[in-house]
Each structure stands twice: as structure tokens, then as C-alpha cells.
A and B are shown apart, each in its own frame.
Chain A
């Protein structure tokens, strides 16, 4: 089976940088994804790492180390609108590919 661990809450101030870590255990790993969800809203895809290293998309970057079963999401120049829940999700390979989501990290950005 799959399991993921991420912090339940993170707080930071506007303009700061925050890192949300995710460790996972899975069989047939094929990638780590990150999703953002505002209160009551739909999750939206942020990034995906299939290979080790850093992927950058604007203010957001995501990192993966497959040997450490570890990844993180880095949010820079935090804005109030970044206050949301962030979920890491691992994909498992095989004929039935599916994502297993972590329990989410609630990010609060303070003024």
C-alpha cells in the first residue's frame, strides 16, 4: 500500500518562503504531485516530479528525492491568497494507476 506524511499546519508571513515536506512509502512509485485546495474549493494541480531534482513554476517549486522517498513544495514570496491546504500525492505504477493523497498541510499566511 501507500502512505504519505506531511505536516498538518504551517504558518508564515506575507513575502516569506515556506517549505512543505512530504515523505512517502509506496510500491511501484512513478511520481509525486502537489495539489492546492482553498476552503470548500476543488483541488487544483500545482506540480509533478517524476525524476529527482527541482521543478520550478513561477513562485512555486517542487523537489523530489526518490532515494529518500521525500519531496517538498517550496512557496516563495508568499501572498495572502496562498492560504490553503496543500496535498502531496504519489502515483503508483501498474495497470491501474491511481493517486494516493496525503492528509494535507494547512498553510496560513499572515499579514
Chain B
């Protein structure tokens, strides 16, 4: 158990819909990262937040957005969903600063878009 929690575990929805994925980092970690992993694919970095502020953006679509709240939990919002958005979405956390190389991953949310 990494100490990172993600909800929900599974999500099934239809094209065009909007969903919100939630992540709570490990206690004490200030950085939260979101990754997308499609079938048989590597981890694609989406976005990073550090202590409430956006720190880095990766290959995140305009239909996707995220935020980190004062209690450091984070939400990833996916809208106008398409079939190709079906994937595992991981949240990871780290202390931040110079410790970003070691990230602790949550169990993931498996999103299925029908």
C-alpha cells in the first residue's frame, strides 16, 4: 500500500459525458501527478501540481483539467469523453522538490468509455 488513494476504482460511462477522478496523496507529500496508461502503453504524464499550484503540463488534452485543493487532494476532470479516453488513470505523489524521482502511485482508476 503506497498510501495514495484514488476513487473510484472503476468508472464506466458513455461518450460525451464528463467524469471526475479523485486522488489523495500520501501524508506529507506536496506534489501530485496524473498519468494516463492505455492498453499495453507506457505511462503518459498529464499534469503535476505542487502545493496547490500547477507545476508542469504534459500531454494533457484541452478537454481534461485538474486542480489541487488546499488539503492537497487532487481531482482530474475529463469532459466530452471519447472512446479513446478509455484507460487506466494513475495519480502519484511525492514530497516534491528534489524527491520527484521517487513517486508513489495510487491503485488507479480504470475508465471505460462506451
Contact = CB atoms under 8 A, between A and B. Distances in A.
Interface of A: 30-31, 33, 41-45, 48, 50, 87, 89, 91, 95-104
Interface residues of B, number: 24
Contacts of A99: 33, 45, 100-101, 103
A8 to B, nearest CB: 9
A107 to B, nearest CB: 15
B42 A101 contact: yes
B88 to A, nearest CB: 8
Contacts, number: 56
Given A42-B105, A43-B90, A96 B42 contact: no
Contacts of B41: 103
Given A99-B101, A101-B35, 6 more contacts: A33-B101, A43-B43, A48-B102, A97-B98, A99-B103, A100-B45
B25 interface: no
Contact of B90 (A42, A91, A96): A42
A89 B102 CA distance: 10
Interface of B: 2, 33, 35, 41-45, 48, 55-56, 58, 90, 92, 98, 100-108
B101 A48 contact: yes
Contacts of A48: 101-102
Contacts of A87: 42-43
Nearest to B104: A45
Contacts of B101: 30-31, 33, 48, 50, 89, 91, 99
A97 B100 contact: yes
Contact of B48 (A30, A33, A43, A96): A96
A87 B103 CA distance: 13
B54 to A, nearest CB: 9
A51 to B, nearest CB: 13
Given A31-B101, A42-B2, A98 B42 contact: no
A96 B55 contact: yes
Contact of B43 (A50, A97, A101): A101
A104 B35 CA distance: 15
